[in-house]
Amino acid sequence: MARKKIALIGSGMIGGTLAHLAAKKEMGDIVLFDIAEGMPQGKALDLSQCGPVEGFDAKITGSNDYADIAGADVVIVTAGVPRKPGMSRDDLLGINLKVMKAVGEGIKNNCPDAFVICITNPLDAMVWALREFSGLPHNKVVGMAGVLDSARFATFLAWEFDVSVKDVNAFVLGGHGDTMVPVTSYTTVNGIPVNDFAKIKGVDQGRIDEIVDRTRKGGGEIVGLLGNGSAYYAPATSAIAMAEAYLGDQKRILPCASYVEGKYGLDGLYVGVPTVIGAGGTEEVIEIELSDEEKSNLKVSTDAVEELLEACKGLDSSLA
Ligand code: LMR
C-alpha cells in the first residue's frame, strides 16, 4: 500500500510540531508548506534528522509551492497569524481570511480529495471560509478546536480533583471563542457525572464555575504567558488525533467544528459539536439533549460565529 501523504500548510510552531508528531507516528510522508522561503525546508531538514535517533521512517520535505501538496490525503492548515496578548481571536479575521483564500485555492487545485483540518483563527469562521474557497464537500473540511478545549477542561478538572487526566471525559460545545460552552452535564470522571464527583470530593459549584471560565479563556491564558505567539503542543496533538481518526477509519466521536445543517437548530454553520470521524470524513454530527440554560449558552456562542460569517461576507464578496 502506498504511504499516506500529509500536507501541513503553515510551518510555524504548530506546523513544526504537527510534522514531528506525524513523523513519530509514521502516519505517512510529510510536506511542510509555507510562503516564507527557507523556513519549511529548514524545518523539514531538521525534523528528518530526528528519524535515525527516534527510529521513525517518514520522508519530510519543505516547500513554497502548492504543487508539492498534490495528492495529499490529509491537509492540516495552520497558516495565518496568531493573536498577541490583549487581542481576541476575532481580531485576526481580516488578515487570516485572505490567507484562507490562497490556501483554499491551493487545496482545490492540488488535492481536492483530501481531508482538511483547519486550525487557523478565528476558527469557526476560518473553517467555513476555507470550505467555501476550496469548494470541497462539507464532510471533508473540519475545524480543530473542541478536542483542544475539552482537553483543557479535562486537565483543569483532573488537577482540581487530583485524579488522572485519563479518567476525565470532558465535553465542550460551540464556537472556539470566549463564549464556548463547556458542558458539565456531559462531563464525567470515569463515568461519574462531574457534578456528583465534585460533591464526593467536596468541590463546590463556585470552583467548577471558575474552571469552566478558565477553560473558556484557556487559549488567551497561554497567549498572555508566551508573550509572542499562541499554544502549539496541544493544538497540534489534537489535530493529529483527528487525522488519525480519518486515516484509520476509527469512527471516533470527537468534538470538532463541523458543518451543522438542521441539528441544534442550526442551518449551514461550522461550530463545535460531537462528530463521528472515519474514512468518510465527518460522518455524523451527534445531537445531544441540552438543558434550557445550555441551549441558551450555545445560542450566544453560535450567534457570535454567525456575526463573524457576516463580517467575512462583507470583506470578500465571493463569500456573500
Ligand atoms: C488556542 O486556543 O490555543 C488557539 O485558538 C490560539 C489562541 O489564540 O488562543
pLDDT tens, position by position, 236-285: 999 999 999 999 999 999 999 999 999 999 999 999 999 999 999 999 99
Task: Give residue 237 CA to ligand 1 midpoint distance, Å.
Answer: 14
Question: Does the pLDDT of residue 216 top 90, yes or no?
Answer: yes
ipTM of the complex: 0.99
Residue bearing the CA closest to ligand 1, atom 1: 219
Q: How far apart are CA 41 and CA 313, in angstroms?
A: 35
Q: How confident is the model at residue 1 (pLDDT cuts 50, 70, 90)?
A: confident
pLDDT of residue 137: 98
Q: Which residues are catalytic?
A: 176
Count of Cβ atoms closer than 10 Å to residue 196 Cβ:
11
Pocket test for ligand 1, best of 14, 78, 91, 223 (most atoms within 8 A of CB): 223
Residue bearing the CA closest to ligand 1, atom 9: 219
Q: How far apart are CA 145 and CA 8, in angstroms?
A: 17
Q: How far apart are CA 121 and CA 232, in angstroms?
A: 13
pLDDT of residue 292: 96
Count of Cβ atoms closer than 10 Å to residue 173 Cβ:
25
Residues 293-309: tens digit of each pLDDT: 999 999 999 999 999 99
Which ligand 1 atom sits nearest the alpha carbon of residue 89?
A: 8
Task: Give residue 219 CA to ligand 1 midpoint distance, Å.
Answer: 4
Which ligand 1 atom sits nearest the alpha carbon of residue 222?
A: 3
Residues 156-186: tens digit of each pLDDT: 999 999 999 999 999 999 999 999 999 999 9
Q: How far apart are CA 202 and CA 85, in angstroms?
A: 35
pLDDT of residue 95: 98
Q: Average pLDDT for residues 27-31, to the nearest whole number?
A: 98
Residue ranges in the chain assigned as alpha helix (H)? 13-24, 39-48, 51-54, 93-110, 123-134, 146-161, 194-200, 205-216, 218-226, 233-247, 292-315
Residues 40-93: tens digit of each pLDDT: 999 999 999 999 999 999 999 999 999 999 999 999 999 999 999 999 999 999
Residue bearing the CA closest to ligand 1, atom 5: 219
pLDDT of residue 85: 97
Mean pLDDT score of the chain: 97
Residue bearing the CA closest to ligand 1, atom 2: 219
Q: Are strands 5-9 and 29-33 parallel, antiparallel or unpaired?
A: parallel
Residues 101-132: tens digit of each pLDDT: 999 999 999 999 999 999 999 999 999 999 99
List pocket residues of ligand 1, CB cut-off 6 Å: 82-83, 89, 121, 148, 176, 219-220, 222-223, 230-231, 235
